[in-house]
């Protein structure tokens, strides 16, 4: 289980970083969302892996439980990254529509659109 999860985080991060190195906006955005998946899974794992356990302490018995805090953190992170992805898709679209070019780097001389 640990190995599976760690591999998933690693693969997602690696492919995310690879895609971010691309020059066009679409792969970059895909890469960013893969990175956010990776970080979400990673955040889950920071509370240690416990499967099929309630996120509640039991004061009558020593029962295993899963840490609820990372789940709350992941929820926040998912909401934020989802919103951010929407923002950057809109920005990239409007940049593409106004320049007819979806390269992410700015190569032309400055000052042509002051």
Partner 1 sequence: MNHLIIAPVVLPAMLAPFIIMVIRHHLDLQRVFSVAASVLLLGISFALMGQSLGGEIQTYELGDWPAPFGIVLVLDRLSALMVLLTSVLALPIVLYAIGSGWDKRGRHFHALFHFQLMGVIGAFLTGDAFNLFVFFEVLLIASYGLMTHAGGTRRLRAGVQYVVYNLLGSTLFLFALGTLYAVTGTLNMADLAARVAEMPPEDTALLRVGAVLLLLVFAVKAALLPLHFWLPLSYANAPLPIAALFAIMTKVGAYSILRMYTLVFGPEVAVTQGLVGEWLLPAAMLTLAAGAIGILGSRDIGRLVAFAAVSSMGTLLIAVGLFTPASTTAALYYMVHSTFATALMFLVADMVMERRGPEIKPRTPMPQSGLIASLFFVGAIALAGMPPLSGFMGKLLVLQASWPAPERAAIWAVVLIGSFVTIVGLARAGSLIFWKSHAIAAEPDPSPQDPPEIDTAPEPSPGLTFSAAFALLAGLIALTIFAGPATEFASATAEQLFNPDHYINAVLKGGEK
Can you tell me which of 11, 14, 49, 80 binds partner 1, judged by CB under 8 A? 80
Asked if residue 30 binds partner 1 (CB under 8 A), the reply is no
Can you tell me which of 47, 55, 66, 71 binds partner 1, judged by CB under 8 A? 47
Place of tokens 């951010």: 84
What count of residues does the chain have? Answer: 114
Distance CA 99, CA 85 (A): 21
Nearest distance from residue 14's CB to partner 1, in Å?
Answer: 14
CB atoms within 10 A of CB 51: 7
Query: Could you tell me which stretch among 49-57, 58-66, 96-104 binds partner 1 (CB under 8 A)?
Result: 96-104
Place of tokens 């400055």: 110
Distance CA 93, CA 87 (A): 10
Backbone torsion region of residue 72, taken as left when φ is above 0, otherwise alpha when ψ lies between -120 and 50, otherwise beta: alpha
Site for partner 1 in 50-79 (CB under 8 A): 69-70, 73, 76-77
Contacting positions for partner 1 (CB under 8 A) = 20, 25, 28, 32, 35-36, 39, 42-43, 45-47, 69-70, 73, 76-77, 80-81, 83-84, 87-88, 91-92, 94-95, 98-99, 104-106, 110-114
């Amino acid at each position: 289980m640990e190995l599976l999860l760690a591999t998933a985080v690693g693969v997602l991060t690696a492919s995310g970083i690879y895609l971010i190195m691309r020059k066009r906006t679409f792969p970059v955005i895909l890469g960013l969302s893969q990175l956010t998946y990776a970080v979400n899974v990673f955040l889950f794992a920071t509370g240690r892996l416990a499967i099929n356990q309630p996120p509640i302490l039991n004061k009558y018995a020593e029962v295993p439980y899963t840490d609820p805090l990372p789940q709350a953190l992941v929820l926040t992170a998912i909401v934020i990254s989802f919103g951010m992805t929407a923002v950057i898709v809109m920005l990239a679209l409007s940049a593409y529509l106004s320049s007819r070019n979806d390269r992410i780097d700015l190569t032309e001389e400055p000052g042509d659109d002051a």
